[in-house]
Amino acid sequence: PVNSATGPDGALYICDMYRGIIQEGNWVRPGSYLRPVVEKYKLQDNIRRGRIYRVVHESYRKTKQPRMYDEKTADLVRHLSHANGWWRMTAQKEIILRQDDSVVSALKNLAKTGDGIGRVHAMWTLEGLGQADAEFSLSLLKDKDHRVRQTAVRLLEPGFQSGDETHLAKVAELMDDKNPRVVAQAINSVQFLRSPDANDQILAGMLANENNDFIQGVGRLALNAKKGGRGSRNSSSLTAAGLRSFKKGRDIYNSLCVACHGKDGKGTPIEGTGTMAPSLVGSPRLVGSHDAAIRIVLHGLTGPVNGKEYIQQMIPMKSNGDDWIADVLTYSRNSFGNNAPEIKAGLVKSMREKTKDRVNPYTIQDLAEFLPVDKRQMKRWGYSASHGGHSAKRAADGRIDSRFSTDGQQRPGMTFTVDMNEPRNIYRIVLDTTGSARDYPRGYEVAVSKDGEKWSAPVAKGKGTHAITSIAFDAVNARYFRITQTGSENGLHWSIHEMSVFEKGGKVAEVAKVQPKEKKPKPRPANLDPKNPYHLVATDETLVIRSYVADGPARGISVGMPNGISYCFDAEKSHVVFGWFGAFMDVGPDRGNGRGRGGRPNRTLGTRFSVGAGGFPIRIGEKKPNEVQFRGYRRAKKEDVSFRYDVDGVSVQQKISPAKAGVGLAYQFIIEDAQSEVTFTVDRELVNAKATKGKWNGNELKLTLAEAKSFTVEVMQKYN
């Protein structure tokens, strides 16, 4: 069984699915090593089968059939108190969809004086109508029904998410509520506030329920999330605008980035070979500097990371808008235990303009000046402080859960000094107090020295306002630097959980992966990856290889586009058979050389994705199949490839480009002389497909003669 639900008749319905391929269909597609097993047992043919069971109690009595669409909105209100949950939820949904304010008075009356669970449904219906204001919710915080009190707290939560503390005191009164579910809801709601008062109230709830393991667990999770503990969601530390960006970025990450970086940000595991991509947890490329993070997303990243080669390179994402990039970076920089300031679209726009001439993906060494000095080097530096000197070295031990602390409240004149062992051209210092979010310096000055005795005038002055204090200044050559705390804050220490230092002209401490010696390669096509003389990477122009590709058709035409998207076109059958993203092609010495000669077939690099192809996709008229004749292709420098073929004598031009957003392809068709309706077919269970013209009917896109003259279809990878 895959699902169960209650029906309007009160019966239990159980859905039982019978299907040969249940999930992970991408790994058993035609050409995969598992496909022979699938075909041996004909699993691919076992589709569209299953049963729905209806289970009733022996005392079941037939009920009337619902007619909610025909009822007045006022009549739907009484269904909110129905004994059957299906009736309650359906009535609630229908009232909200109608947006009929005429029932607001009746709903408020039900919420305040009704019986049972119907009151909760009335409250959420009012919320859906935009009528559950703060005054209404506050009036129900002391209701005798714990479900009503719990819901009232939930309705006040959006205010907490935006940083509004107006109603904190009222909700805090519920921290010693006799019902633990109400206490848990109060804790979960106030944790969105960044103020110390919110922390105090969470602790109050835990203290009032010392012997309740459930409340203790909820409280610890809430406090850990506010501190940015590993694996927690830290969106509560963002502004209201940042939170909206965070949520959009989460959707982007879960539909695209998760394929390589994994749900936990640690990289998608590959059996026996590590992960597909580097971990994002505490990554200095992500949280250490917005300069590096934005550059990587715009233009991609290739080569080893921390001395390790990954099978999947970071492909350029510059085809996406500034908001899109800002959103996904804001999410990633504030998830998986990370905590860093949000990225705004204006910052992305500025970086896009600054790096507009960039053609190739970055390497780690290219980004050296935008990445912090390696922690392994920083651990060898010397650290001292005027207050709390015994803990000074903890500021750079690579652990966010340890810290340097002054052991006393912040006062002007407190100093923190670093000896870097050798002169460096430093230009930025970042102080991270995430673990003690309010211990940032209320004021600071930075001075430098070559000998540790004679100090310069301040090279930077400012005030900390956030758990992350980024101090930027013109690059200066020095061996020592000293940070002087210039502000005051009663009751709070000055702490540094982690410090990062940025250096102009520095080198990234990478351990190069040792490659086995190979024979000197024969001359190869242009655009070879300098890191591997046998790997083709499309950089500034589209690449085309006409030779046999592993798992590909005999007359395959492989095309690599500069944004990291590639595809294989079957010239015999005149359609795309599969796509992939990442690097383009392995053309090693024992493989084809791009002109149809060589021993073993060429091998695609990167990760394949489905294009939903089940055969030739175009049909003109009702004839099945049409007669198709390939006529050739055209490739102009720095342009996408156009293919031409005839379908029953009608000329078809198909230009193939990368999809505008996401991983996929855009097919631009021109069919000028068709005499019958044109149909385009794609398996929409495998891909997301959208078209500029025509109407979809299941997997078929129907186009009139006028629409078929010029239309575009995008097929994009679908993530479950």
| Span 33-61, pLDDT tens digits | 888 988 999 988 888 888 999 999 999 88
pLDDT at residue 233 greater than cutoff 50: no
Judgement on whether residues 579 and 694 belong to the same structural domain of the protein: yes
pLDDT at residue 238 greater than cutoff 60: no
What residues contact 719, with CB distance under 8 A and at least 6 apart?
254, 255, 256, 258, 259
> What's the pLDDT at 217?
86
3-class DSSP state for residue 602? strand
Judgement on whether residues 599 and 680 belong to the same structural domain of the protein: yes
Reported confidence tier of residue 701, pLDDT bands at 50, 70, 90: very high
- Region 501-522 average pLDDT: 56
- CB atoms closer than 10 angstroms to residue 115: 9
Q: How many Å apart are CA 459 and CA 465, to the nearest integer?
A: 19
Contact 607, 260 (CB under 8 A): yes
- Asked, for residue 176, whether it belongs to a domain, the answer is no
Reported confidence tier of residue 527, pLDDT bands at 50, 70, 90: low
- Region 616-635 average pLDDT: 83
Greater confidence (258 vs 458) lies with: 458
Number of H-type helices and E-type strands within the chain: 18, 31
For the ranges 260-264, 282-286, 467-471, 625-629, the lowest mean pLDDT is seen at: 625-629
Greater confidence (211 vs 620) lies with: 620
> What's the pLDDT at 593?
46
- Asked, for residue 177, whether it belongs to a domain, the answer is no
Greater confidence (200 vs 79) lies with: 79
> What's the pLDDT at 344?
92
Mean pLDDT of the chain: 85
- Asked, for residue 281, whether it belongs to a domain, the answer is yes
- Region 487-500 average pLDDT: 91
Judgement on whether residues 382 and 327 belong to the same structural domain of the protein: no
- Region 83-102 average pLDDT: 94
> What's the pLDDT at 536?
77
Reported confidence tier of residue 532, pLDDT bands at 50, 70, 90: low
> What's the pLDDT at 210?
77
> What's the pLDDT at 524?
43
- Identify the CA nearest to 574 among candidates 638, 604, 619: 619
Judgement on whether residues 321 and 470 belong to the same structural domain of the protein: no
Query: Of all helices (H) and strands (E), which one includes residue 151?
Result: helix 146-161
- Asked, for residue 60, whether it belongs to a domain, the answer is no
pLDDT at residue 359 greater than cutoff 80: yes
- Region 601-628 average pLDDT: 83
Judgement on whether residues 712 and 563 belong to the same structural domain of the protein: yes
- Asked, for residue 148, whether it belongs to a domain, the answer is no
- Domain of 15, in residue numbers: 3-55
Judgement on whether residues 341 and 269 belong to the same structural domain of the protein: yes
- Asked, for residue 688, whether it belongs to a domain, the answer is yes
Judgement on whether residues 625 and 661 belong to the same structural domain of the protein: yes
pLDDT at residue 319 greater than cutoff 60: yes
> What's the pLDDT at 271?
65
For the ranges 483-497, 571-585, 601-615, the lowest mean pLDDT is seen at: 601-615
Contact 192, 167 (CB under 8 A): no
- CB atoms closer than 10 angstroms to residue 291: 18
Q: State the CATH number of the domain containing residue 354.
A: 1.10.760.10
Query: Of all helices (H) and strands (E), which one includes residue 161?
Result: helix 146-161
pLDDT at residue 599 greater than cutoff 80: no
pLDDT at residue 512 greater than cutoff 70: no
Judgement on whether residues 291 and 359 belong to the same structural domain of the protein: yes
- Region 133-158 average pLDDT: 94
Greater confidence (594 vs 398) lies with: 398
Judgement on whether residues 360 and 239 belong to the same structural domain of the protein: yes
- Region 337-347 average pLDDT: 84
Beta bridge partners of 55: 12
DSSP letter, residue 372: B
Residue with tokens 């019966």: 11
Reported confidence tier of residue 78, pLDDT bands at 50, 70, 90: very high
pLDDT at residue 528 greater than cutoff 70: no
Judgement on whether residues 387 and 473 belong to the same structural domain of the protein: yes
Judgement on whether residues 356 and 391 belong to the same structural domain of the protein: no
Judgement on whether residues 356 and 384 belong to the same structural domain of the protein: no
Q: How many Å apart are CA 595 and CA 602, to the nearest integer?
A: 11
What residues contact 559, with CB distance under 8 A and at least 6 apart?
542, 543, 544, 566, 567, 568, 569, 641, 656
Total domain count, the chain = 4
- Identify the CA nearest to 527 among candidates 702, 302, 701, 699: 302
pLDDT at residue 231 greater than cutoff 60: no
> What's the pLDDT at 446?
97
Picking from 313, 347, 370, the residue at the C-terminal end of a domain is 370
Picking from 451, 483, 503, the residue at the C-terminal end of a domain is 503
Contact 618, 703 (CB under 8 A): no
Q: Which two tokens stand for residue 543?
A: 């690449």
> What's the pLDDT at 243?
63
Picking from 481, 503, 525, the residue at the C-terminal end of a domain is 503
Greater confidence (328 vs 247) lies with: 328
pLDDT at residue 675 greater than cutoff 70: yes
- Asked, for residue 608, whether it belongs to a domain, the answer is yes
> What's the pLDDT at 272?
62
pLDDT at residue 236 greater than cutoff 80: no
Phi/psi of residue 637, each to 5°?
-55, 135
- Region 450-457 average pLDDT: 94
- Asked, for residue 76, whether it belongs to a domain, the answer is no
- Identify the CA nearest to 311 among candidates 45, 16, 546, 604: 604
For residue 196, whether the previous peptide bond is cis, meaning omega lies within 30 degrees of 0, is no
What residues contact 387, with CB distance under 8 A and at least 6 apart?
406, 407, 408, 414, 494
